[in-house]
Amino acid sequence: MLAAATVRTERGEYDSAMALRHLALKTRDLAATKRFYVETLGLREAFPHPGMLFLKTPGGGDLLNFVGVRRRVDPRAGGLDHFGFYVGERRLAVLRRRLKTAGVKVVGRRGRWSIYVKDPNGYTVELYAD
């Protein structure tokens, strides 16, 4: 067993032995992906990298990585159902308006505080406040 150290960050404490740092997904259109996640959802570009897009959430230390590919992306091929962002109640209301303005349709709901949308690549993204 590996020894773990407790690391303190502005978000709290976590066990440093193992932590999910990023999720890498394929995209055929880095520009459309960047517009959706940066302009509509409010993520920020973490750093530039040729052929890839690295995004960070305003409230987390995690990274969402998109890798540019030439072939059509089939989000179902890898067994991914969805990934989610905790956004809080106020931000959820703001994001609902932004999504509507951007022409993005809500494709599912879970109760009052969770919505599901499709990103430009066909991935299902959950935005939730519960």
DSSP output for 81-128: --EEEE--HHHHHHHHHHHHHTTPPEEEE-SSSEEEEE-TTS-EEEEE
d(Cα 43, Cα 126) in Å, to the nearest integer?
A: 14
d(Cα 72, Cα 108) in Å, to the nearest integer?
A: 24
pLDDT band at 5 (very low <50, low <70, confident <90, very high): low
Q: In terms of pLDDT, which residue wins out, 4 or 90?
A: 90
Q: Is the pLDDT of residue 10 over 80?
A: no
pLDDT in tens, 91-100: 999 999 999 9
The residues, any chain, with a CB within 8 Å of residue 46's CB and separated by 6 or more, are: 54, 55, 56, 63
pLDDT in tens, 34-86: 999 999 999 999 999 999 999 998 887 889 999 999 988 887 787 788 999 99
Could you tell me the pTM of the whole model? 0.75
Q: Is the pLDDT of residue 6 over 90?
A: no
Which residue is it, tokens 């809500």? Answer: 106
Amino acid letter, 118: K
Instruction: Name the CATH topology of 21-70+82-128.
Output: 2,3-Dihydroxybiphenyl 1,2-Dioxygenase; domain 1 (3.10.180)
pLDDT band at 13 (very low <50, low <70, confident <90, very high): low
Average per-residue pLDDT in the chain?
86
Residue spans of the domains in the chain: they are 21-70+82-128
